[in-house]
Amino acid sequence: MQNFFSLAILALFALPLPQEGRQEPAPPAEEKRGRAEIEAERIRNELSGAWQLVRAEIAAESFAGAQCLGYLIVQPEYCSLQARLTSPQPGGQVSLAGMTAGTYRWSYEEGRLALSLSTLLAGSDLENPDGQIDYEPPGTRRDYEVVIARDDLTLTRGGGRTRMFFRRLPPPKPVRKPEQK
């Protein structure tokens, strides 16, 4: 037992003494960054791609399945959204509840944890009771809360008044080149 204590005391003296003016190594970059920055980077990276609209909730109406057709195509800084919503009618008929189509410039603001879309060109009849297409002025801004969980994307705005649910489309299969003779 006495040998153990002797070795422990020797080990303490073998450690280098702290040097004056010497600084501790800087923490890894991820430790310096806040959670908001890390989440913003994750959202920016995972948002790019092609997304299919699978469900939409607008005002008090919900659309899903064949009633809800749409796509969101996202690339760095730009995106395009098209959607057509229908409502079932008696006798198996459907009526067009509305459509929207637009191209936007997007940014993700880490301070607010919000996706901002700035309209380049967009038209919609979703909010016009007469069914006429209203065109948004360029620069119109819309802010969305974003949730990305694996291949599912949810965009929410207006305190939940509008919610869109998307599923990521798989990447295209590579085209095989014919063998040359």
Give the predicted TM-score (pTM) of the model: 0.73
How close are the terminal C-alpha atoms of the chain, in Å?
81
Q: State the Cα–Cα distance between residues 160 and 94, nearest whole angstrom.
A: 26
Q: Give pLDDT tens digits for 104-149.
A: 999 988 777 789 999 999 999 887 778 889 999 999 999 999 999 9
The CATH number of domain 48-168 is 2.40.128.280:
yes
Q: Give pLDDT tens digits for 87-111.
A: 877 776 667 788 999 999 999 887 7
For the chain, the domains span 48-168
CA dist list (Å): 152 to 68, 91, 149: 16, 34, 5
β-pairing, 94-109 vs 78-88, is antiparallel
CA dist list (Å): 103 to 62, 127, 131, 136: 24, 18, 21, 11
